[in-house]
Amino acid sequence: MDFDLTDEQRLLKESVDRLILDQYQFQQRKQYMAEPTGFSASMWSRFAEQGLLGLPFPEALGGFGGGSIETMIVTEAFGRGLVVEPYFATVILAGGLLRRAADPALVGSLVPQITAGKLKLAFGHVERHSRYDLANVTTTAKQDGSEYVLNGAKSVVLHGDVADKILLTARISGAQLDRDGIGLFLVDADAPGLSRRGYPTQDGLRAAEITLNNVRAAALSDNALPLIEHAVDEAIAALCSEAVGTMQAMHDLTLEYLKTRKQFGRPIGSFQVLQHRSVDMLVALEGARSMAMFAAVMAAEENPVERRRAIASAKVQIGRSGRHIGQEAIQLHGGIGMTMEYSVGHYFKRMTMIDQLYGDADQHLATLARLGGLFGATG
């Protein structure tokens, strides 16, 4: 298989890499996090100017017309910069679901606002009891005329405190764990009856707890779970690529430290045992990179079983590699690696959060076993 980038993809990579290098050093990131929204409005505008907010949307709607490979390029760069803007929540997760669930007229009216940086989205689906089961929904939707009345609560809604509109799920019919009967709704963040409590997450991003009390909304879909599963699989593929960027940064920081930190009159990187450990980190990194590429290629697969196998396999490798590289980076740095003033600990926090989002390595390993392994059951 040819993994070479096209000329357009190379130009995209060069421009995003340059933007992160110039505008997203560690001290700059701390300044962005200190802003009232928890991210930089000026950087969000820069993303819009460079077409990044329109990356997965069709050109006819003002988007970039990119696919999963272009998303991989951008999110890997964002992983190296520890980007705190709501790109994942708006463009990849909620944006991906909007493309699949909304009617063309609605998509056509919203996408230009997203690409211009004027509209931020969030996806509220997870509930406190649901763990990693996307079908576990107790928020209710009762039909009242042409609309539905929503009641319930959503947890850990990524960047839900700064979103202008929120995609929400609620059960129209069926029992708590039924796969059928889950509706999808688009609600204004200031809709009557909707309240949200924002808070910082461990990796420096933002999330919100959302409560719905007789919130009225029209349904985008009354059987949305297959759409949600596909959108989440695409989002996991993007997270895998971001994780590779995060792991790359931890590896680079560790190598630099081994070359400059001296003990017994010589750089500690000259000791063979530490060289072996840094090589093990590189092996783990390249294994994760290969699986992230595989996830990006398979993210658009319409066969849900084949797609799920690929995404689960990638998430297992990402989780294991990320834990190994993060632990080694912290240990090889010594005490400085645990301080808030040094970046490597922040990378490990983000890596840990990526591992937990939409299922950790153990959860996806169990999924893979249930599906008969990467290539299915044989014999």
Question: In this structure, is residue 376 part of a structural domain?
Answer: no
CATH at 85: 1.10.540.10
Question: In this structure, is residue 353 part of a structural domain?
Answer: yes
For residues 207 and 233, state if they share a domain.
no
**pLDDT reading at 377 higher than 60:** no
For residues 82 and 208, state if they share a domain.
no
For residues 56 and 166, state if they share a domain.
no
For residues 137 and 43, state if they share a domain.
no
pLDDT average, residue stretch 64-71: 92
178-216: pLDDT as tens digits: 999 999 999 999 999 999 999 999 999 999 999 999 999
Closest of 375, 68, 51 to residue 238, by C-alpha? 68
* Average pLDDT of the chain, as a whole number: 94
- 80-115 burial code (b ≥16 CB/10 A, e <16): bbbbbbbbbbbbbbbbbbbbbbbeeeebeebbbbbb
Q: Give the dihedral sign, CA 109/113/116/121.
A: negative
Q: What is the pLDDT of residue 64?
A: 86
Q: What is the pLDDT of residue 270?
A: 78
For residues 260 and 322, state if they share a domain.
yes
Q: What is the pLDDT of residue 376?
A: 74
Question: In this structure, is residue 241 part of a structural domain?
Answer: yes
Task: Kindly report the pTM of this predicted structure.
Answer: 0.95
Question: In this structure, is residue 377 part of a structural domain?
Answer: no
Q: Is 378 or 348 the better-scoring residue by pLDDT?
A: 348
pLDDT average, residue stretch 355-376: 91
pLDDT average, residue stretch 259-264: 85
| Residue 331, amino acid | Q
Domain C-terminal end among 69, 99, 119: 119
Q: For the chain, how many structural domains are there in total? A: 3
Residue 337 main-chain phi, psi, to 5 deg: -65, -20
For residues 152 and 26, state if they share a domain.
no
pLDDT average, residue stretch 304-315: 96
Q: What is the pLDDT of residue 142?
A: 97
Q: What is the pLDDT of residue 336?
A: 87
Question: In this structure, is residue 375 part of a structural domain?
Answer: no
Round to whole Å and give the CA distance between 134 and 188. Answer: 23
Domain C-terminal end among 102, 119, 136: 119
Q: What is the pLDDT of residue 379?
A: 38
For residues 346 and 230, state if they share a domain.
yes
Percent of the chain with pLDDT over 90: 85
For residues 160 and 275, state if they share a domain.
no
For residues 249 and 364, state if they share a domain.
yes
Round to whole Å and give the CA distance between 199 and 123. Answer: 16
Q: Which residues pair with 140 in a beta bridge?
A: 151, 171
Question: In this structure, is residue 2 part of a structural domain?
Answer: no
Decide: 281 and 328 in contact? Cβ < 8 Å: yes
Q: Which domain holds residue 194?
A: 122-223
Question: In this structure, is residue 11 part of a structural domain?
Answer: yes
For residues 302 and 326, state if they share a domain.
yes
For residues 249 and 366, state if they share a domain.
yes
pLDDT average, residue stretch 292-296: 96
Task: Return all residues near 174 (Cβ < 8 A) that are at least 6 apart.
Answer: 180, 181, 182
For residues 238 and 296, state if they share a domain.
yes
Domain C-terminal end among 175, 197, 223: 223
For residue 119, the SS3 value is coil
User: What is the distance, to the nearest Å, from the Cα of residue 282 to the centroid of all Cα atoms in its chain?
Assistant: 23
Question: In this structure, is residue 378 part of a structural domain?
Answer: no
CATH at 280: 1.20.140.10
